[in-house]
Structure 1
Amino acid sequence: MTGMTPSGTFLPSLNNPIENASFTIIDPEPLVRSGRNWTRWAGPLVSLLILVVALDQFRGLEFAHLWTMMPTATAFWVVFLLYYTAAPISEWLIFRRLWNIPVDGFGALLRKLVSNEILLGYMGEVYFYAWARRNAQITTAPFGALKDVTILSALAGNVVTLLMVAVAIPVFNALTIGAGRWDIIGSVLFVLGTSLVAMVLGKRLFTLPRAELWRVTAIHLLRIIATTILAAAMWHLLLPSVDLSWWLLLGTLRQLVSRLPFLPNKDVVFAGMTAFLIGPGNAIASVMALMASLILAAHLLVGIVLGAMELAQEGRA
């Protein structure tokens, strides 16, 4: 059976195969010392921040200009939807197995995505932790599993990034842009360094069973590969005449940007870096700016809708 210690720490359930491993996941004492009290306001507070920031940033979007550049092909919007929801879908599959989260957990994962993108990197993890602690279906202490899933996501992203960099380095030198082999060495060392730290810590760092760690890693790898292909597909649909080498280079640059911690609006940063490297008047730079605007608009729209819905629910509670 599932139970809680007097301090509010969740203990394993005998009905969940994930929890029947030879260990017990315990939340850090500072997080559970006051029980669930802090989680009652943390979730609504993050939703309020999302709503305020989204409404403020929405005013800065140039809707008239964006509308004139809006793609009309149905295929593009199908790919865009798959691209945008890939992360929350993959995480829902992970936490569905770990915690048996309900369908509405997908909405919480969307809020997690938006929090990370328009507020601050890893703010979404704070929100999702609070949501997990408040959800009656969660029978284990969520901190350990959430930590493992987050670290494995970063490691999987680093592996894919390093592989893409290895393939794309010749392209950096072959194409006429403002960057070459040595311009990316710092980013590569950063990515490699964080991966090595996680590998060295190993058993001290992770709490889930080894089989679950591999399963989570596989889902993350599939998600990263899928989003990379989907992003390239969207770029190709917008500019079908552009050589594949450009999409390889830009996909690698996008992966490098995605590895930067605590950085919101990564797509906007990526678009700015693209314009800097190949020139703001280039068609590719225009497409990257369009994509950044569309993704930001999607974040803001989802943030406004979901933030308002959660605050309304809290008001009725």
Structure 2
Amino acid sequence: MTGDGDTQEAAEVDPLGPREEARPAGWKLWLRRAFTIGILSFIIWRLTLIGWGELWRNLPTEPLFYVLHFTAYSVLPLSEIAIFSLIWGVSMSGTFGVMLRKRALNNSVIGYSGEVYLYLWAKARFGLTGRRLASGLKDNVLMSGIATALCAIVAALMLLWINPDLVRDRLVERAGPLSIGLFAVLIVAVLILFYVFRAKIFGIGGRIFAIVMALHFARIGLTYILQAWQWDVGVPAGTAELWFTLITVQLVISQLPLLPNRDLIYLAFVIEYAGSTGVNPQDLQAMFVTIFVLYQLLNYTALAVTSLLPSTRVAVKGA
């Protein structure tokens, strides 16, 4: 939209407008939908076999469980306030609602619709070029992905080190600590290469790169610590090894490409895996179903509430 100098006025636009362009077309869209329906049907079938009444009786009742869930959900938007303040060099104070909406859009609408929303929101409020805004968003997505991938690899290696029976013929045990150590060195080497060649990949300086990466690692660590604490409150019989195993699986699933609705895939895994965890499977299944439902409720509640806040609305200059 174009404006006429001093006569320009802010017109509210739908921050979800661009989502149609990013949506898969034709058979790809139907394939994604069929996959999602298939996973959801499997989950409903398994839960029906378990018994909905049994699940209801095993729902977590401790208030701390729900407090920890909201706290863990809030870690990402809080961390991104600090991250974008550094990347864009602007004050992002008072933008928790904006970052909460960004997260909810990415989780409930379509991937990266949150970035589109934040781009439009920031473009109307800061005196930054579209190129700088887009570069900052791209840098954050890349750094977040690198941090999550590294955490997934390290967690998987630690899990295999703790419980080598997870691999057939005790492959990890035969490989020994030297092989795993060399693999860890390789991970560090890749991170160093990213740092050395950051100028060709990222639009930020080395100091900001290091701080933002540290914030991402801290964000991931804090989120999973809170999550494990929540699980332990919900199912006190669980062990640290069980929670670490489930966190590792969650991290690995989050890195699988081309899979829609990874949350449903993870829930399906937990429902099947619950019987071999050493705890009451109904307790574990009920807890993770509760977490899944809470997660969706938080997403849609965040979208509804933030849509009413003037500070989170997207405005552009134009007629």
Closer, same or farther in 2 for the Cα pair 1:45/1:120, shift >3 Å? same
2:224 paired residue among 228, 237, 251: 228
Report what 1:133 is aligned to.
Answer: 123
Shift of 1:73: 2.5
The answer to whether the 8 Å contact 1:99/1:137 transfers is: no
Closer, same or farther in 2 for the Cα pair 1:202/1:244, shift >3 Å? same
RMSD: 4.1
1:247 equivalenced with 2:248 (yes/no): no
> Identity rate of aligned residues, in percent?
24
Report what 1:282 is aligned to.
Answer: 281
Taking structure 1 as the reference length, the TM-score comes to 0.66
The answer to whether the 8 Å contact 1:265/1:296 transfers is: no
Shift of 1:78: 2.7
Report what 1:124 is aligned to.
Answer: 114
Report what 2:153 is aligned to.
Answer: 162
2:136 paired residue among 131, 142, 145: 145
1:43 paired residue among 1, 12, 15: 15
Taking structure 2 as the reference length, the TM-score comes to 0.66
The answer to whether the 8 Å contact 1:119/1:264 transfers is: no
1:301 equivalenced with 2:291 (yes/no): no
Report what 1:204 is aligned to.
Answer: 200
Shift of 1:107: 1.6
1:86 equivalenced with 2:58 (yes/no): no
Give the greater-gyration-radius structure (CA): 2
User: In structure 2, how many angstroms separate the alpha carbons of the residues matched to 1:99 and 1:263?
Assistant: 35
Shift of 1:290: 1.7
Aligned with 1:45: secondary structure? Answer: coil
The answer to whether the 8 Å contact 2:15/2:314 transfers is: no
Aligned residue identity for 1:286: A
Q: Report how many residues are paired.
A: 255
User: In structure 1, how many angstroms separate the alpha carbons of the residues matched to 2:143 and 2:314?
Assistant: 33
Aligned with 1:242: secondary structure? Answer: coil
2:214 paired residue among 211, 218, 233: 218
Shift of 1:236: 0.4
Shift of 1:112: 1.2
Shift of 1:77: 2.7
Q: Deviations over 1:163-194 (max 9, x none)?
A: 1000112566547x99x989xxxxx9xxx8xx
The answer to whether the 8 Å contact 1:79/1:230 transfers is: yes
Aligned with 2:307: secondary structure? Answer: helix
Report what 1:56 is aligned to.
Answer: none
The answer to whether the 8 Å contact 1:114/1:299 transfers is: yes
- Structure 1 window deviating more from structure 2 (199-208 vs 120-129): it is 199-208
The answer to whether the 8 Å contact 1:80/1:234 transfers is: yes
Aligned residue identity for 1:253: V
User: In structure 2, how many angstroms separate the alpha carbons of the residues matched to 1:216 and 1:314?
Assistant: 26
User: In structure 2, how many angstroms separate the alpha carbons of the residues matched to 1:103 and 1:146?
Assistant: 18
Aligned with 2:228: secondary structure? Answer: helix
User: In structure 1, how many angstroms separate the alpha carbons of the residues matched to 2:150 and 2:314?
Assistant: 41
User: In structure 1, how many angstroms separate the alpha carbons of the residues matched to 2:262 and 2:299?
Assistant: 12
Closer, same or farther in 2 for the Cα pair 1:207/1:128, shift >3 Å? same
Closer, same or farther in 2 for the Cα pair 1:67/1:279, shift >3 Å? closer
Shift of 1:146: 1.5
Q: Deviations over 1:276-307 (max 9, x none)?
A: 33459923233222211111111111122223
User: In structure 2, how many angstroms separate the alpha carbons of the residues matched to 1:46 and 1:305?
Assistant: 21
Aligned residue identity for 1:282: P
Report what 2:291 is aligned to.
Answer: 291
Shift of 1:139: 7.1
Aligned with 1:43: secondary structure? Answer: coil
User: In structure 2, how many angstroms separate the alpha carbons of the residues matched to 1:110 and 1:312?
Assistant: 10
Aligned with 1:241: secondary structure? Answer: coil
Closer, same or farther in 2 for the Cα pair 1:103/1:46, shift >3 Å? farther
Query: With CA pairs under 8 Å and 6+ residues apart, which has the higher RCO, 1 or 2?
Result: 2
